Structure 1
Amino acid sequence: MKLTKYTHACVRLEKNGGVLVIDPGTFSETAEALDGARAVLVTHEHKDHIDVAAVKSALTENRELEFFAPLGVADALRIEAADALSRIHTVEPGKSFEAAGFDVRSFGGQHALIHPQIPLVANIGYLVDGNVYHPGDSFVIPDGISVQTLLVPVHAPWNKVSEVVDFVIGVRAPRAFPIHDALLNGTGLDLVEGHVKRLGAKYGTEYAHLSARESVEL
């Protein structure tokens, strides 16, 4: 499986001709990430995780493209892309399904708290092929499974460094890569990743930086 990271929270997975994209948001190179995709998974409704216009365009142009997301996101897209209703699917926590030739399991259900006065929204974490876990905007640890490749939200309005480190320690995946990093400059990213790499290694996780458009074979 080939994983390509795009700016912020978007990743593209490729295997046996199938292409699966997770969280093609407005901070990311959405058109490039979605090119040739057969399935899109979206964790939640925030714009940095779904570029509605780009996804609508992709659904219109690519009749093989399937879309999976929590209820609110799926319903909003059904209004925008009425001609693709049969290819827009609602995902709930604790489900298993197939997308673009990948096996997917869903976890979580709720976005991490930003502030008590900011309403919570639904958030789904996705485990792909029993290997890659994308948590969206949460630190929910998948139950009953061993994650092999963890995508780590290294910075957000809803997290702090200690929580990032504890998430990595809690999951204990053999390898980890960053997501959700567009709001950090180079200095801040180096600082956070240094803590994650050093402390994660004590618990068996090898953390490595990936830049936008950089790929790795899993």
Structure 2
Amino acid sequence: MKLTKFTHACVRLEKDGRVLVFDPGNFSEAEHALAGADAVLITHEHADHIDVDAVVAALLDNSSLRLFAPAGVAGQLRGKADSAAERIHTVAAGEEFDAAGFAVKSFGGQHALIHPQIPVVANVGYLVDSNVYHPGDSFAIPDGVAVQTLLVPIHAPWNKVSEVVDFVIGVRAPKAFPIHDALLNPTGAGMLEGHVTRIGARYGTEFRHLSSGDSVEV
């Protein structure tokens, strides 16, 4: 399976001629990431994880595109893309489903706390083909499964480096790559990724930097 990172939290998976996209947000090259997509997984409603205009346009332009998202996101999109409503599916934590030939399991349930005065929204993490796990904006560790490829929210208003490292240690995936990094300059990214690389290796995780546009086989 080919994994391509886009800016921030957007990741594209390709296998057997099928394409699945995680979180095409407004910090990402959403239209490019969505080109030719068969399925889209949205973790939560924040704009850096879903560019609503780009996603609605993709749903209206591509009659085979299916989208999976928490209830609030799904309802908003049905209101904006009524003709595509039957292809917009509501997902909660603890479900299993097929998304254009990719086997998906959902975990978590809520966004990490940013501040007590900022409402906590629904957030669903997705494990695809028992391989790639995108947690959205959370450190929810999938239970009862082994993750092979972990996407790590390396920096956010809601996290700190100790939590990032503990998440990597807790999941213990053989491979890990950064996401949620658009607010970092190269110096900050290098420092944070250095901690994850060094400590993660002690627990069997090989962490590797990916820039936007980079692809790897997983």
TM over 0.5: yes
Q: Does 1:63 align with 2:63?
A: yes
The DSSP-based 3-state class of the residue aligned with 1:198 is: helix
Residues 60-209 of structure 1 mapped to structure 2, 5 A cutoff: 60-209=60-209
Instruction: Give the distance between the partners of 2:116 and 2:154, measured in 1 at CA.
Output: 22
Note the C-alpha offset of 1:140.
0.3
Note the C-alpha offset of 1:100.
1.6
Note the C-alpha offset of 1:155.
0.1
* Corresponding residue number in structure 1 for 2:30: 30
The DSSP-based 3-state class of the residue aligned with 2:151 is: strand
The DSSP-based 3-state class of the residue aligned with 2:122 is: coil
1:39-70 CA distance string (max 9 Å, x none): 00000000000000000000010000001000
Note the C-alpha offset of 1:150.
0.2
Note the C-alpha offset of 1:6.
0.1
1:97-149 CA distance string (max 9 Å, x none): 00121000000000000000000000000000000000000000000001000
The DSSP-based 3-state class of the residue aligned with 2:7 is: coil
Runs (5+) with no aligned partner, structure 2: none
Instruction: Give the distance between the partners of 1:80 and 1:171, measured in 2 at CA.
Output: 37
Instruction: Give the distance between the partners of 2:46 and 2:54, measured in 1 at CA.
Output: 14
1:16-46 CA distance string (max 9 Å, x none): 0110000000000011100000000000000
* Corresponding residue number in structure 1 for 2:215: 215
Q: Which amino acid aligns with 1:33?
A: A
* Corresponding residue number in structure 2 for 1:44: 44
Q: Indicate the RMSD between aligned Cα atoms, in angstroms.
A: 0.3
Runs (5+) with no aligned partner, structure 1: none
The DSSP-based 3-state class of the residue aligned with 2:93 is: coil
How many residues align? The count is 218
Instruction: Give the distance between the partners of 2:216 and 2:140, measured in 1 at CA.
Output: 24
Question: Structure 2 length as normaliser, TM-score?
Answer: 1.00
Instruction: Give the distance between the partners of 2:161 and 2:170, measured in 1 at CA.
Output: 14
User: Identity over aligned residues, as a percent?
Assistant: 73
Instruction: Give the distance between the partners of 2:86 and 2:145, measured in 1 at CA.
Output: 31
Q: Which amino acid aligns with 1:95?
A: E
Once superposed, which parts of structure 1, at least 4 consecutive aligned residues long, lie more than 6 Å away?
Answer: none
Q: Which amino acid aligns with 2:96?
A: S
The DSSP-based 3-state class of the residue aligned with 2:163 is: helix
Question: Structure 1 length as normaliser, TM-score?
Answer: 1.00
